[in-house]
Amino acid sequence: MLMDIRMLGCGSAFAKEFYNNNAIVYAGGRKLLVDCGTTAHVALRKLGLSLAEIDGVLITHIHADHVGGLEELAFQLKFLFKRRIPLYIADTLADILWEHSLRGGLEQEGLMTLSDYFDVRPMAEGSPYEVLPGLRAELLRTSHIPGKLSYSVLFGHTFFYSSDMLFMPELLETLVRERGVETIFHDCQLEPPGVVHACLDQLLTLPDELQRIIRLMHYGDAQPQYIGRTGGMRFVEQHRLYSFDVG
């Protein structure tokens, strides 16, 4: 199964030179938005993409750089484009997203639930779901903020997309050695310490064979200063199209 991915942005939550770390995944002639942060709509416009072209959205966790653009997405789809697209989200997060992030802005007469705006598709952790024609995605719970649920995504069999996770070397080793992962897009805090994200110093302790398949994203504005200082890992470039066979 061929999958293309283009990062709308590769920036950390507080980056100003880069957009929020959100992506568009392409497969089967369709487009899936992976997270929809506060800068997602500006990034889409810069790429010349309309919301009318988005066939679904997948949400990994509840932070503004990942869900801050959902209110606008919901309103535009509902009232401008007259569409109700699938919203893939962990079954543990759907109510939290509505009650704590979206309800205050979206609730009005006749529109009282998340399902009034989206075709909500709850996903159970560890089970694969078809999110685009022929493309399956599996949510894996990963550690980020204590007490807050956060998930990363395994696309197909070979592509792992981390979403704001701590340094979890055992998980990475397991994904590669036992599940056949060949490419990892990993969030990276460039400066230590890695309190809620894996930091570069930690990732540099990984074996060379792991580093060679890791591409770094979700970085800060100091990223240009770190080019050539990432060992066997490379930076993901926002807006560049990457293609992978995900099995």
* 3-class DSSP assignment, residue 113: coil
Look at residue 186 in the predicted model and tell me its pLDDT. Answer: 98
Look at residue 65 in the predicted model and tell me its pLDDT. Answer: 98
pLDDT digits (tens, 9 = 90+) for 61-74: 999 999 999 999 99
Closest by Cα among 8, 65, 10 to 31: 8
| 201, two tokens | 């110093």
Domain ranges (residues) in the chain:
2-238
Give me the residue label for tokens 């990963």.
142
Beta strand spans in the chain (E): 2-7, 23-27, 30-34, 56-59, 86-90, 119-123, 128-132, 135-141, 151-155, 159-161, 183-187, 214-217, 234-235, 241-245
Q: How far apart are CA 16 and CA 160, in angstroms?
A: 26
Confidence of residue 19 (pLDDT cuts 50, 70, 90): very high
> In sequence order, what are the residues at sequence separation of 6 or more whose Cβ sits closer than 8 angstroms to the Cβ of residue 72?
41
pLDDT digits (tens, 9 = 90+) for 169-223: 999 999 999 999 999 999 999 999 999 999 999 999 999 999 999 999 999 999 9
Q: By the 8 A CB rule, do 180 and 159 touch?
A: no
State mean pLDDT over 116-143. Answer: 98
Q: How far apart are CA 213 and CA 32, in angstroms?
A: 23
Look at residue 48 in the predicted model and tell me its pLDDT. Answer: 97
CATH topology of domain 2-238: Metallo-beta-lactamase; Chain A (3.60.15)
Look at residue 244 in the predicted model and tell me its pLDDT. Answer: 98
State mean pLDDT over 147-160. Answer: 98
Express as a percent the part of the chain with pLDDT over 90: 100
Burial class (CB in 10 A: 0-12, 13-18, 19+), 235: middle
Q: How far apart are CA 129 and CA 127, in angstroms?
A: 7
pLDDT mean across residues, the chain: 98
Closest by Cα among 23, 10, 7, 5 to 217: 10
pLDDT digits (tens, 9 = 90+) for 35-57: 999 999 999 999 999 999 999 99
Look at residue 153 in the predicted model and tell me its pLDDT. Answer: 98
pLDDT digits (tens, 9 = 90+) for 217-246: 999 999 999 999 999 999 999 999 999 999
Look at residue 191 in the predicted model and tell me its pLDDT. Answer: 96
Give buried/exposed letters for 156-188 (b at 16+ CB in 10 A, else e). Answer: bbbbbbbbbbbbbeebbeebbeeeebbbbbbbb
Residue 204 dihedral angles phi and psi, to the nearest 5°: -70, -10
